[in-house]
Amino acid sequence: MSDTITYTLQYPFQFTASRWIDQLVFQTEPKVRDLKRLDHASGGIEAGIVLLSVLSGEPVDLIEALKASDYVGASKLVGPTVAGFLGAGAH
Give me Rg for the CA atoms of the chain: 13
Choose between 88 and 65: higher pLDDT.
65
| Average pLDDT score over the chain | 87
Give dist(CA 60, CA 52) in Å, integer: 8
Does residue 91 carry a pLDDT above 50? no
Q: What is the pLDDT of residues 34-63, one digit of tens each?
A: 778 777 777 788 889 999 999 999 999 999
pLDDT interval class at 1 (50, 70, 90):
low
